[in-house]
Copies of this chain bind each other. A is one copy, B any other.
Amino acid sequence: MHQLSRRGFFKGVGAAALAATAVPAAVAPARAAPTSFSKVVDLTHALPEDFPTFFGQPQLEIENVYKFDKDGFNLNIWHLNEHTGTHMDAPIHFSKDGQTADQVEVEKLVVPIVVIDVKAKAAEDPDYRLTPDDIAAWESANGDLPDGCCVAMNSGWDAHVKSDMFRNADGDGVMHFPGFHAEAADMMIKDRNVIGMAVDTLSLDHGASKDFKTHYTWLPSGRWGMECIANLDAIPATGATLVVGSPKIVGATGGPSRLIALI
């Protein structure tokens, strides 16, 4: 399993056309006032070897090398695809020279998190894409998106994590799960100051996407994404703070992250 099958999902996906779009990276605002919390909530899925993956093949192998009974201690080596479980997409994942995971400034890892609930729409249409209208409707109900926030899509998909419905692949292998519309990404870059985009599915783009337009809009702009976020029902639509425990491995294009919400 150490060689992922290169199934050509992304071949010739317009990389050249989009690579040239050099947008200044998002800026984390200075903290105007102290942030306060009295409760912590884990937004991270447990990650076993058989966690569902975008590519459909296992992406984690745990090799046990020391065992307590024999060696006096336990220790493993992981063989791990960076984009597995609840994990970060760093800007470099879909850009030629964007930030690697270790380069994302710590100020961008402790941010307000807002949750946009599209569960009803996603239940009706698994190819649903969160739109600018969904953001506008959220703002009508909750006020403007906070400066420097992470916007999380709650499609209800984390309830499917232990079944085939999480990938929801049809007979041709095309997956059907919700994601962000590229126009929503564009709005969050140009008309708001959003730093992170989180989805409770396997991809920022909806599963059936052929062009990964949301990835190519969002990540090269210097912002991070988070896929397979869990437990969004446990935090409010606005008011929580997200702490992103992303890896600081040099050169990483992302990686499994511990997401903790402070409420």
Contact = CB atoms under 8 A, between A and B. Distances in A.
Q: Which of A11, A102, A249 has the most CB of B within 10 A?
A: A249
How often does this chain occur in the complex, in copies? 2
A76 B251 contact: yes
A11 to B, nearest CB: 7
A35 B35 CA distance: 8
Contacts of A15: 68-69, 72-73
Interface string A19-37: 1000000000001011111
A229 to B, nearest CB: 12
Interface in A54-85: 60, 62-63, 65-66, 68-69, 71-83, 85
Interface string A228-241: 00000000000000
B38 A37 contact: no
A201 interface: no
Given A68-B92, A244-B245, A245-B246, 17 more contacts: A4-B77, A11-B72, A15-B69, A34-B37, A41-B106, A42-B106, A42-B248, A46-B102, A46-B250, A48-B250, A49-B250, A68-B95, A73-B93, A76-B251, A77-B82, A110-B262, A248-B256
What are the 10 closest A-B residue pairs judged by CB atoms, nearest first? Answer: A245-B245, A15-B72, A245-B258, A42-B106, A48-B250, A13-B72, A10-B72, A34-B38, A34-B36, A74-B253
Interface of A: 2-4, 6, 10-15, 19, 31, 33-42, 44-49, 60, 62-63, 65-66, 68-69, 71-83, 85-86, 92-96, 102, 106-107, 109-110, 212, 215, 243-253, 255-258, 260, 262
